[in-house]
Amino acid sequence: MTSHDVPSTVLWEEADSPLGSFLIAGHGATVVQVNLPGRWAKEDLPAHWVHEPGAMAPATLQLDEYFAGTRRSFDLDFAPSGTPFQLGVLRALQDIAFATTATYRDVATAIGNPKATRAVGLANNRNPIALFIPCHRVIGADGSLRGYGGGLEMKSWLLAHERDVAASDVSPPQ
């Protein structure tokens, strides 16, 4: 094994939320992975990952702000892993505005391949930076909620949270 094959240390920490404990991992200010509550266990993490509370403070702060309703987008560096197609889908997901949704076909069209709806669904399912890259905002063509790594109940909760935050920003006419 050459030195460039040795994985660099990934720092991780837990971030509490109304939905449970997220895992946020990265290198300094760069987020490489976010696991949803109930979808990770310490004993399953790679050996080169080091638990260091506070290491991902910018991400945990922004997650807290999101759940408090004071943040609508994340201002972080993301370095997700994936194929070129998957990375294209992840970039398109970041363009779905807070409190809005897009269909799998919308995302496929955004990446220039409107017939790739099934492949978009698979890429969406493999999103390594869940919530921060908003795969929860992708819905079926008929408006129904479709698969989500955290389960449909969590997806529904996140979408309702965003709608409630957006609605609370509307001030009545003077």
Determine whether 135 is an active site residue.
yes
- Selected catalytic residue, list 55, 56, 116, 135: 135
**Residue 110, phi-psi category: left (phi > 0), alpha (psi -120 to 50), beta (remainder):** alpha
Structure tokens at 127: 């999103």
Structure tokens at 35: 């696991």
CA angle 69/74/79 to nearest 5° reads: 150
Neighbouring CB atoms inside 10 A of 39's CB total 14
Cβ contacts of 107 within 8 Å, gap of 6 or more = 89, 92, 93, 96, 120, 124, 138
89/83 Cα distance (integer angstroms): 10
Find the radius of gyration of the CA atoms of the chain: 17
Q: Which residues are annotated as catalytic? A: 135
